[in-house]
């Protein structure tokens, strides 16, 4: 019931599913380098600048932890959403505090075996994302959220621990039938329509300064254009396009996977999209200039609009319906945990 984890991500402000990328999870593959912190161990005494805001049996959450959750929450909001009014911040922070309490209470119920398994799962998932996106892209994303790699790795670990506990304690009470899944599929046909897509690879020769992200001087831009033309010529002669992308591309999000993206219309910058959709599979574009620099694009595959088959959609629908059911039982489960731990919200003086 993996959507229990995704639901917890919506509930808990510091969980991995909130960050991603699409899912995205990430951290070091070296098991000993990112040992998760013990969140239930003794902590230094609170200070006037960092008071305890919630306490209970083996539970202590300070103001700084809520502030960290706020930073992560703001960093991961859709940029198109309206800003949160200042007078609403206390309300949001109260919810974030609830999220942190819930997370910690669930973690306390984990067995040693669940913790060991979660560490292995976290290491693997983090390593997989680093391989997919590249270390630089992952680390930049983590830094943009005001987090360190250690904090991020610990959050991934905690999320996996929580998933195991919730599946054991709550998952068995949630039932989603095949009939429920089929009804959802039939009642929401638009949700399973796939637009026309293209799979394309590109080599980006950036014309932006790495530090300032501003356009480089004309002389340097001319050098970049010459390099792009040389790469284009090599591609035209039949050199392996994926190898060219891995060697030369300045796009950290795709170079490690041979420059590949799969996308519908409206997702990429207009110049890039127009070129990719206009070519036949196997065709390589002339230089395409965008705000980012010079692109050499190769269209690999064109996929017409279609509808996702029921059997293929079935696992995702089940996960989604499971998450909805979990939301219904979560408040009662949370109340039970708080009562058992004698949780108290500490009001500021």
Are 200 and 274 part of one and the same domain? yes
Are 41 and 134 part of one and the same domain? yes
CA neighbor of 69 nearest in space, from 15, 126, 131, 28 = 15
For 322-345, the pLDDT digits (tens) are: 989 998 999 999 999 999 999 999
Any idea of the CA torsion for 306, 309, 315, 319, to the nearest 10 degrees?
50
Is residue 319 assigned to a domain?
Answer: yes
Are 277 and 223 part of one and the same domain? yes
For residue 38, pLDDT beyond 50: no
Domain containing residue 253: CATH number: 3.10.50.40
Are 14 and 140 part of one and the same domain? yes
Is residue 186 assigned to a domain?
Answer: no
Are 133 and 200 part of one and the same domain? no
Domain containing residue 22: CATH number: 1.10.4030
For residue 39, pLDDT beyond 60: no
Are 10 and 93 part of one and the same domain? yes
Do the Cβ atoms of 51 and 348 come closer than 8 Å?
yes
Domain region containing 246: 196-304
Element housing 76 (H / E) = none
Tell me how many domains the chain contains: 2
For residue 83, pLDDT beyond 90: no
Structure tokens given for 150: 């250690």
Are 297 and 319 part of one and the same domain? no
Are 26 and 140 part of one and the same domain? yes
Q: Distance between CA atoms of 96 and 186, rounded to whole angstroms?
A: 36
Is residue 190 assigned to a domain?
Answer: no
CA torsion sign for 119, 164, 147, 67 is negative
Are 231 and 334 part of one and the same domain? no
Taking residue 56's Cβ as centre, other Cβ atoms within 10 Å add up to 20
Are 61 and 161 part of one and the same domain? yes
For 1-25, the pLDDT digits (tens) are: 443 333 223 222 222 222 222 223 3
Structure tokens given for 203: 């080599």
> Would the pTM of this model clear 0.75, i.e. be above it?
no
- Tokens 């356009």 belong to which residue? 215
Is residue 183 assigned to a domain?
Answer: no
Q: How far is C-alpha 36 from the chain's CA centre?
A: 19
Are 7 and 118 part of one and the same domain? yes
CA neighbor of 203 nearest in space, from 122, 285, 281 = 285
Are 171 and 288 part of one and the same domain? no
């Amino acid at each position: 019931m993996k959507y229990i984890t995704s639901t917890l991500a919506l509930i808990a402000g510091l969980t991995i599913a909130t960050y991603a990328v699409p899912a995205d999870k990430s951290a070091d593959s070296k098991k000993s380098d990112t040992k998760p912190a013990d969140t239930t161990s003794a902590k230094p005494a609170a200070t006037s600048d960092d008071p305890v805001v919630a306490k209970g049996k083996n539970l202590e959450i300070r103001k700084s932890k809520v502030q960290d959750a706020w930073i992560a929450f703001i960093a991961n909001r859709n940029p198109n959403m309206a800003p949160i009014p200042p007078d609403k911040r206390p309300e949001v922070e109260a919810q974030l505090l609830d999220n942190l309490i819930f997370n910690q209470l669930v973690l306390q119920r984990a067995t040693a075996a669940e913790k060991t398994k979660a560490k292995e799962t976290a290491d693997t998932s983090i390593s997989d994302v680093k391989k997919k996106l590249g270390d630089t892209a992952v680390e930049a994303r983590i830094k943009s959220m005001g987090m360190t790699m250690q904090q991020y790795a610990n959050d991934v670990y905690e999320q996996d621990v929580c998933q195991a506990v919730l599946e054991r304690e709550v998952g068995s009470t949630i039932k989603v039938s095949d009939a429920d899944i089929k009804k959802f599929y039939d009642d929401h046909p638009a949700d399973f329509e796939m637009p026309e897509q293209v799979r394309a690879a590109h080599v980006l020769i950036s014309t932006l300064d790495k530090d300032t992200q501003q356009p480089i001087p004309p002389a340097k831009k001319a050098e970049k254009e010459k390099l792009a033309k040389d790469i284009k010529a090599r591609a035209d002669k039949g050199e392996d396009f994926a190898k060219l992308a891995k060697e030369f591309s300045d796009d950290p999000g795709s170079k490690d996977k041979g420059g590949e993206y799969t996308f519908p219309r409206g997702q990429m910058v207009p110049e890039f999209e127009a070129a990719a959709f206009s070519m036949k599979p196997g065709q390589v574009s002339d230089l395409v200039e965008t705000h980012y620099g010079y692109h050499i694009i190769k269209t690999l595959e064109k996929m017409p609009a279609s509808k996702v088959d029921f059997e293929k959609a079935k696992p995702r629908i089940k996960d989604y319906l499971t998450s909805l059911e979990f939301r219904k039982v979560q408040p009662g489960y949370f109340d039970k945990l708080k009562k058992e731990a004698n949780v108290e919200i500490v009001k500021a003086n």
